[in-house]
Structure 1
Amino acid sequence: MPPRTEKTTALRVAVLADSDTRWKWGALTARRLTAGASGTSAQRVEISGLLLRGRATPTPRQLAEVGDVGIEADRVREVTAVEFLHTVRDEGYDVIVLALVGGAVQAMLHGLAALRLPARPVVVTGYVGVVYEKLADGLLLRHGADIVLANSRHDAERFRAVYEGVGADASAVTEAALPFLGGEPHRPQEGRDTVVFAAQPSVPASRDDRMYLLRRLVEHARLHPDREVLLKLRSKPGEHTTHIEELPYQRLAEKLPGGLPPNFRLVYGHMGEVLDRTDLLVTVSSTAALESLHRRIPTAVLTDLGVREALGNHHFIGSGLLTSWDHLDGGFRPEPDPQWLAGQGVAADGTYATAYDHARARVDALLAAARLPDLAVGDLPQWLALHVRVGQIFGFGRRKPPRGLVPGQIDMRTVGIQNEEQKVIAEVRAFVRAHPTPDPTLVLFFSDGGVHRNREIEQELRAAAEEPVFWQFVGLGSSQYGVLERFDTMPGRRVDNVGFFAVDDIERISDQELYDRVLSEFPSWVRAARQAGILR
């Protein structure tokens, strides 16, 4: 992997994946997030692939079956978790896509925080397909990423409801779509009649249920000898995918009485290529159903084994797609409900080209957001000389010409000016979440007045009430402090996480009095926060 140099101007992206399907999702997500409106990026982009070593690390065959994801082979390698963190430290990535199971996402977030990088990369994560189990568990393990992608409006609403329901910040949830949707819309062809069953490694789980589905599929082939019937498999025996396949259909087919009819075949390969010749897609709850619906291919979700959370087909309640093998044998073809379909992110209406616009804008905004370097008290004189440049921006929007920046200096125009307290509060909150510590955090916030974004500030500080941070505001100069003066009396918080006092003339009070007032409310908050379980 080429080292980063001073001359490297490309946007550098790393994808960390732990299985074949997550590699497909992560790599294509990285491509879509870094592409412009025309499908290409004006800036050169370097995407590196990192495969997390484990039981489901994809084999070369599985990687080839995923198809072209736009990442050169010499930019894909296998790593341990520690090697990944060392690579992040050394390479200086701008964006990281974590295509991992929830627990691994959380571990990587903690690992990234422990690196204490001068500027953490933008961290993106999400889900490979239909989210039908462990919703709260998976989402809370992903909390702390800068962007949590939702594959549909339906998912975005559910994700936000979970975060907000536990008092967590839901702003990272960003609606997009599955990154691997594509292909031409379905067009029937004379002389072609192909039914594809999209198998799943762990659904259903029991031998009897899997044998039942296989038997019904084979019987369907025998009932319709002129119809091509394909069993689309995810992996070969011995290979692992996102889910463990204990009972491969290949092995079960070998034991089927009477053998297999000539119009029935087991197939592998890229799902998109299989869908190119599909006239009916049948599944229990595979994400392939969403790929099929995107291309307007007739799609059926089986109810033979019931409609249950364990099967995942409860996700399709109200879709119009639920049916049985008996109906399919008789020629029934389900029609999707338009209202249900509109919320599923399959963009069957042709809007897929813009599905990633909002997510792309979020990434661009996060990359563009500048923040001043952290300050150690002993470095204050040098820090002030380097970064505090009063008068660069002044008076009625007129700007002085920017002077040349010395090495390490931040262009103050990118940091922001005027009263944007809510943005600073949000930045501090994000930093504390990204760098967890067992000790409480005390924030000293000095304001010279002019506070007017009361609603936004209140929202941020109310949301921060459940976080291990105490906000001590100090007013300087007898000015308007807005909501800050009233926060002590605002209800709806388990603990009072904000203190405020004003100093008309800071030169007239002693250091001792100033320090006493700065710390006057912090100890009582620590006690209350520990009692409420906010601090451990």
Structure 2
Amino acid sequence: MSASQALRVVAIADADSFVKWSASMLGGVDGIRPHLLIVRTPLTASEQQQRTALAGTGMPEHAVTRLSFGETAGWLDGQRPDVVVLAGRGPFVRLMGRVIDRLARRPVVVAGLPGMAIPAQRGALDYRRHADLLVVHSHREQRAFAELGRRIGVEMPTALATLPFARPRSRMIAAERAKVVTGSLTERAGATLLAERSEPPTGTGPQRAVRTPATDIVFAAQALVPVGRDERAEIAATLVRAAEADPRRRVVVKLRSRPGESETHLERDPYLDLLPARRPQNLVVSYDSMGQALSTAAGLVTVSSTAAIEAVALGVPVIALDSFGVSKGLLNTVFVGSGLLGGRSEVVAGRFRHPHPDWLRDNYFHPAAESTWWQRVEKLVALRRAGALPARRIPAPRGGSMHVAWHRASVLGREDRTLRGAVALTLGIPATAALARLRSGRASAEGATWADPSTDFTLEPNPFHDSIRR
């Protein structure tokens, strides 16, 4: 296909995790003309977060445009994309969906989530139900969203994609410099890493850059879990003990945002506030990309971050913390049966582990040939061009224009400067809080699925109280 015939594909995102995900997804597709449109909201990635998120995705800086919401409709009309990938939290996706509904030439609309999506959440599906295709990243997610759709009466086409952070990559480290710090890893993990580091570069192309030995313990911090300040303080204390236990290894606290920056989810008790002012010199904070952090990692620790999947793809052993339990509320039920669950004492001792092979195929490491999302998109484009793919338009909401104004103001925050938006927020905040309580009660009567470990989906609203408004 010539450059003039290549599909024009635009990802629309705001928060850093969605910037990284959408750019990585498009970076894995050959023969397209990709572009990333970043819309200003309270969650929008800063310029520095943008550079970090785009590192290694293949999305060049010149293919990125930053706009206000009010400018997006005109920009999209001028660009006339064949495909739009909506990459943001649910309310953002619905807001941008209304913009697409008004375009003179409607593109195929694709939506997805930027990481592991177990449990499949009701809101995640409901907000994206008017896209032409929902991208999921594992067979388990595909089953979970199908069952959730049946339970709530939403028919949503899904397609499987390899999680872009799970694409196999190599960390090439000079054999003569490779070492495993005594006591920092299990024998199994140490042997595996040593074998990886001793493997000579392959292929006839340029050799990979030689990197320093991988001895770091990397902690992938999360805003949402655990929720409690005391639990987060326990993690911070564990990282201090891990650093004190072996001064020869670094313990790296990998954060997504610097003070003053926003990220996808609201962090109420940042680890910077929980770590002691006087801490071991080998306990450091990093704002680098996760790929860069993992390049020198001997092990990764997290509660439930998708960074665990990125680490597994690199052969880095993992501990998924189960010290506070295993539950949907901790977003870590996906690790049941993986062999990766472990406690704080194992982090201090450096007893990291690799996943059980039987867990991998159903959870993000299916064969590449089974990732057919782009083939599905190409077929949808052909159908739309032939007039055989009806638009899945977002219906007018109950409450009419005032509801639309409230929704816009809720997503855009200070970027919405309309009087109607301000009035709608004033009236709408208490009303929506009451409605959320009512819906929660109804869903709880249906089975309290957030507390049900036997399913991979939820019916109730999520329990995190994570408003987009900051």
TM-score, length basis structure 2: 0.70
AA matched with 1:12 = R
* Separation in structure 2 between the aligned mates of residue 150 and residue 17 of structure 1, nearest angstrom: 17
2:187 maps to: none
1:210 maps to: 232
AA matched with 1:90 = G
- Is the contact made by 1:237 and 1:248 (CA closer than 8 Å) also made in structure 2? no
1:246 aligns with 2:268: yes
* Separation in structure 1 between the aligned mates of residue 350 and residue 165 of structure 2, nearest angstrom: 30
1:227 aligns with 2:227: no
In structure 1, which of residues 69, 77, 96 is the aligned counterpart of residue 84 of structure 2?
96
- Is the contact made by 1:230 and 1:267 (CA closer than 8 Å) also made in structure 2? yes
1:174 maps to: 159
- Is the contact made by 1:184 and 1:276 (CA closer than 8 Å) also made in structure 2? no
* Separation in structure 2 between the aligned mates of residue 68 and residue 226 of structure 1, nearest angstrom: 29
**Unpaired stretches in structure 1, ≥5 consecutive residues:** 1-6, 36-40, 374-423, 439-536
Partner of 1:279, secondary structure, is strand
Evaluate the alpha carbon distance shift between residue 11 and residue 150 of structure 1 in structure 2; reply closer, same or farther with a 3 A threshold. same
- Is the contact made by 2:232 and 2:271 (CA closer than 8 Å) also made in structure 1? yes
1:85 aligns with 2:83: no
* Separation in structure 1 between the aligned mates of residue 255 and residue 35 of structure 2, nearest angstrom: 28
In structure 2, which of residues 107, 130, 141 is the aligned counterpart of residue 144 of structure 1?
130
| Runs (4+) off by over 6 Å | none
**C-alpha deviation, 1:435, in angstroms:** 6.4
2:393 maps to: 434
Partner of 1:282, secondary structure, is strand
**C-alpha deviation, 1:254, in angstroms:** 4.3
1:107 maps to: 95
* Separation in structure 2 between the aligned mates of residue 225 and residue 240 of structure 1, nearest angstrom: 32
AA matched with 2:69 = A
1:29 aligns with 2:25: yes
* Separation in structure 2 between the aligned mates of residue 192 and residue 91 of structure 1, nearest angstrom: 45
Give the length in aligned residue pairs: 357
Partner of 1:180, secondary structure, is helix
* Separation in structure 2 between the aligned mates of residue 94 and residue 247 of structure 1, nearest angstrom: 42
Higher relative contact order (CA 8 A, sep 6+): 2
Partner of 1:434, secondary structure, is coil
In structure 2, which of residues 11, 17, 24 is the aligned counterpart of residue 15 of structure 1?
11
In structure 1, which of residues 61, 64, 88 is the aligned counterpart of residue 48 of structure 2?
61
Evaluate the alpha carbon distance shift between residue 8 and residue 328 of structure 1 in structure 2; reply closer, same or farther with a 3 A threshold. closer
**C-alpha deviation, 1:147, in angstroms:** 1.5
1:263 aligns with 2:263: no
* Separation in structure 2 between the aligned mates of residue 133 and residue 343 of structure 1, nearest angstrom: 14
Q: Deviations over 1:148-189 (max 9, x none)?
A: 10011111111111223333323x200112123343167335
- Is the contact made by 1:113 and 1:436 (CA closer than 8 Å) also made in structure 2? no
* Separation in structure 2 between the aligned mates of residue 192 and residue 122 of structure 1, nearest angstrom: 43
- Is the contact made by 2:218 and 2:252 (CA closer than 8 Å) also made in structure 1? yes
Report 1:352-391 matches (<5 A): 352=368, 354=369, 356=371, 358-369=372-383
- Is the contact made by 2:120 and 2:141 (CA closer than 8 Å) also made in structure 1? no
TM-score, length basis structure 1: 0.62
- Is the contact made by 2:225 and 2:303 (CA closer than 8 Å) also made in structure 1? yes
- Is the contact made by 1:124 and 1:147 (CA closer than 8 Å) also made in structure 2? yes
Report 1:185-200 matches (<5 A): 187-188=193-194, 192-200=214-222
In structure 2, which of residues 318, 322, 328 is the aligned counterpart of residue 299 of structure 1?
318
* Separation in structure 2 between the aligned mates of residue 247 and residue 437 of structure 1, nearest angstrom: 38
Q: Deviations over 1:392-441 (max 9, x none)?
A: xxxxxxxxxxxxxxxxxxxxxxxxxxxxxxxx6xx4xx43x336479xxx
Q: Deviations over 1:196-255 (max 9, x none)?
A: 111112322332222210111111111223332211111111111111223222232244
Evaluate the alpha carbon distance shift between residue 335 and residue 88 of structure 1 in structure 2; reply closer, same or farther with a 3 A threshold. same
- Is the contact made by 2:9 and 2:82 (CA closer than 8 Å) also made in structure 1? yes
AA matched with 1:253 = L
- Is the contact made by 1:27 and 1:71 (CA closer than 8 Å) also made in structure 2? yes
Evaluate the alpha carbon distance shift between residue 436 and residue 245 of structure 1 in structure 2; reply closer, same or farther with a 3 A threshold. closer
**C-alpha deviation, 1:48, in angstroms:** 2.1
